[in-house]
Structure 1
């Protein structure tokens, strides 16, 4: 199996490191706008399977040239570039996978289009190719777990997803978090765009629009994350899941309130409109994003001691809750998923990186695309066999456990 990874940043580089350790993968072409970025990552991975190059991800012909002869194109650049990379994969006759998507797909779902009517779905289907959308952590694990639970129900009425995070710093006072440096772990600009965007929730079968940080409520996460305020958050699942989970009436995605981005938004610093400062015009969001360390700095740099310390201090919880009916009775299935990047030292020894929460589901989706005859056209991660997906993930040696519970009535 030959793979092209477009984008050597945080998750793209981590995915390359994981795939390089899979027997089924014989070649990985890791490309970025600047080849030196890809080469620096390849040198850290240290595998002869990894070849590097440069590519302009917004030029389908350039992508197609880089993808010549590969089985799967892995798209790890900005979500707004999706259609460019897809067209390149299509020209090269390769399957395609991403972890995130937005324009034009969010709007197309809001317009009521079916999956078959989405941009480039027809072209992929006619070419006998599959484009697998949203196969990371969220979207990705959220979808797979939701499908696992939905398969146990006769009907699905509601899907709720919540993410919470906590950082415990020894000796820190109750308000010292105000001065903590902020780093989302993925593209800082994209994270700010997401936080500052209006979003939707499905309520009684209809989309309802919410402003940024709207719909605030308190959510009880397992300790040490604890009870946190969560708000509606612009996310792929909101748009795609109503099309793939037939009959669902209520669906939302809420993220813990990230205080620094909330303050940036309230201060106008998430604006993409340029303002004049002296003789220079600059968008406030670009200034903020430029001050945040780039995600690729986190792929391989941490030592085992630093990773072990992070396991004690940094925590994240994902809740996926699916409600419906089974044999005429109301049933709710719930998954509590702790931090996927732990235990850090063991993950680094296993995959070459501890940054696996997006990259490992992505690598699993890539191998599925390579050896499974999936539906042609555009498919979503919740249309995969969830049991097969989770088994493949755990069969890599992944030392991870999550808790599932059932509530009747």
Structure 2
């Protein structure tokens, strides 16, 4: 008997997962649910196994009603809804997948993640079910890449994760995904593990410079708000060989655009007054940004104009010891770029990587590839589960390349 899955949220992420699962032989039915009736209807029209329903995610009972008999609930809604979706999954005894970790359970975000691991983890484990959070490209594939690197180490000292997004259009287009989400990430508190302790760092600070393979020149990357450092910081002893320092760095067109705005205070979210006018700087900046292209014709128009550059990098550097010697484990992720992704699937490189990586975690659910219960973040997969995930990714030309070399500071 095939699996029944509920895809809650029919934006870019949820739609990609639904389309991928429509091709899976072990999926019998896909319930596409959202408050946006048009988005639900448009998605269902292009799928063979789907039916639509409308859900008010503010109401747990509304989610429960949509989730009856579901084997898996995929939460592709904003992170504030996660506690309600988690409660619905527990109520109907379904597995659960989320693309990030909610920040509404406690004022200190690492505490939110601990609550997910401990309180919700215990409840899912009691039911014999599994919840996995952080299941896109970053977090998601980035976590799998970091965990996979631990195979080569006896002890780990430093983990540095870096994403460079260098796709640049000829028109003004600083972000290829939600400008609101992008600008929020540019101003949210950033976290790092420093000397074994999770601490807040300043966004846009602590720059590092790298010349990545396949890129024309050196890139500067800075501290950026991302889930990985919190997950891995909490799991440093159980999954990351006692790592002492963990950072996430981000660079590229979006950072080049946002860093001066951040430093000038133009991403502040509190009301300010200037010459008798009251305004919120963040909202003013946001109102002047073009939306991210998501439809075929929009993307085609941008690509027909020609790109200034179509490059990027997705890299993990782990340093530690093996057989008493100091080494570095360097891992690159290779995936189709923007133009190649459009040729393959009619979407951008950002949509391709994030959506496909997310769908592979779902594929593991429907194929019964996980051997754990409880609540995990994607850095907590076993090596066997990592192997299965990476094998699926290879089929989509999303490939990890790892090199172990002497550490030269």
Q: Aligned to 1:219, which of 190, 207, 210?
A: 210
Equivalent in the alignment of 2:193: 202
Mapped contact 2:179–2:289 kept (Cα < 8 A): yes
Q: Deviations over 1:27-48 (max 9, x none)?
A: 11122211211222333xx222
Q: Deviations over 1:226-262 (max 9, x none)?
A: 3122111111011011233421111000111612222
Mapped contact 1:318–1:337 kept (Cα < 8 A): yes
Q: Provide closer, same or farther for how the CA distance between residues 308 and 203 of structure 1 changes in structure 2, counting only shifts above 3 A.
A: farther
Equivalent in the alignment of 2:319: 323
Equivalent in the alignment of 2:360: 364
Q: Deviations over 1:10-42 (max 9, x none)?
A: 121122122212222221112221121122233
Equivalent in the alignment of 2:230: 239
Mapped contact 2:117–2:376 kept (Cα < 8 A): no
- Number of aligned residue pairs: 394
Q: How does 1:177-196 map to 2 (within 5 A)?
A: 180-185=172-177, 187-196=178-187
> Matched residues in 2 for 1:238 and 1:13: separation?
28
Q: Provide closer, same or farther for how the CA distance between residues 221 and 118 of structure 1 changes in structure 2, counting only shifts above 3 A.
A: same
Q: Provide closer, same or farther for how the CA distance between residues 28 and 306 of structure 1 changes in structure 2, counting only shifts above 3 A.
A: farther
Q: Aligned to 2:220, which of 222, 229, 240?
A: 229
Q: Provide closer, same or farther for how the CA distance between residues 86 and 219 of structure 1 changes in structure 2, counting only shifts above 3 A.
A: same
Q: Deviations over 1:35-93 (max 9, x none)?
A: 211222333xx222122222122322211111111111111111222212211222222
> Matched residues in 2 for 1:62 and 1:278: separation?
47
Larger mean CA deviation between 375-384 and 131-140 belongs to 375-384
Larger mean CA deviation between 262-271 and 88-97 belongs to 262-271
Q: Provide closer, same or farther for how the CA distance between residues 251 and 87 of structure 1 changes in structure 2, counting only shifts above 3 A.
A: same
Q: How does 1:166-185 map to 2 (within 5 A)?
A: 166-167=166-167, 180-185=172-177
Q: Deviations over 1:103-157 (max 9, x none)?
A: 1478667459857754422222222221101111000111111111102222222
State yes or no: 1:379 paired with 2:376: yes
Mapped contact 1:115–1:378 kept (Cα < 8 A): no
Equivalent in the alignment of 2:247: 252
- Structure 2 stretches lacking a partner, 5+ long: none
Taking structure 2 as the reference length, the TM-score comes to 0.85
- Structure 1 stretches lacking a partner, 5+ long: 173-178
1:220 deviates by 2.1
Q: Deviations over 1:299-319 (max 9, x none)?
A: 544677976987883222111
> Matched residues in 2 for 1:41 and 1:292: separation?
26
